C-alpha cells in the first residue's frame, strides 16, 4: 500500500480516518503521561517483594464491605476521602514505601498522585488492583484485617 492510497482511503472514509487519528493521539498521550507520573506502578510480585524487603505500608481504598470480602494480608482499609498526609496510618510512614490499592487500579492511581503531591517520597500503586492480585494467583484475607 502506498502513501497515496492511504490518503485516498482517508479522503473516502473521513470518519474512520478521524477515529484512527484520535485513538492514536489518545494512546500517545496515555503513554507519555505514564512516563511522567510521579509514582511507580507495581505488579503483584513487585508488591510482595516490597512488603517483604522494606515493610511497605499497603493502603486499600476499597469500600469496607469489599475489603472484608478479601484484601491483601497486612493492608489497611482507608476511604479515599480520608486519605492524606494527616491520616494516622500515613503520618508515620512518610519515608516508608506506601502502596495504594483498590479493586481495579483506577482509584488507587489518583490517590497515589495525591500522596506524592502531599510530600510522600516513595509512593506506588498496584497496577490492575486487587483483580490483578487475584489473576496472579495470590491469596486474599477475609475479615476486617
**Mode of pairing for the β-strands spanning 57-60 and 98-101:** parallel
Terminal C-alpha separation, the chain: 60
Place of cell 503483584: 44
CA angle 130, 144, 125 (to 5 degrees): 30
Whole-number Å distance between alpha carbons of 101 and 3 = 46
Whole-number Å distance between alpha carbons of 129 and 132 = 5
Closest CA to 93 of 103, 80, 84: 84
Q: Is 102 a catalytic residue?
A: yes
- Catalytic residue (one of 83, 102, 109, 123): 102
Report, as residue numbers or ranges, the catalytic residues. Answer: 102
Amino acid at each position: 500500500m502506498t502513501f497515496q492510497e492511504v490518503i485516498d482511503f482517508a479522503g473516502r472514509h473521513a470518519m474512520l480516518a478521524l477515529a484512527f487519528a484520535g485513538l492514536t493521539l489518545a494512546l500517545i498521550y496515555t503513554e507519555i503521561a505514564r512516563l511522567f507520573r510521579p509514582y511507580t506502578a507495581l505488579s503483584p510480585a513487585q508488591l510482595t517483594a516490597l512488603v517483604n524487603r522494606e515493610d511497605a505500608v499497603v493502603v486499600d481504598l476499597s469500600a469496607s464491605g469489599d475489603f472484608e470480602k478479601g484484601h491483601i494480608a497486612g493492608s489497611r482499609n482507608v476511604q479515599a476521602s480520608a486519605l492524606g498526609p494527616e491520616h494516622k496510618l500515613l503520618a508515620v510512614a512518610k519515608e516508608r514505601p506506601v502502596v495504594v490499592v483498590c479493586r481495579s487500579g483506577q482509584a488507587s492511581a489518583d490517590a497515589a498522585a495525591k500522596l506524592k503531591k502531599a510530600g510522600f517520597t516513595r509512593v506506588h500503586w498496584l497496577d490492575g488492583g486487587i483483580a490483578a492480585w487475584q489473576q496472579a494467583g495470590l491469596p486474599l484475607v477475609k475479615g476486617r484485617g
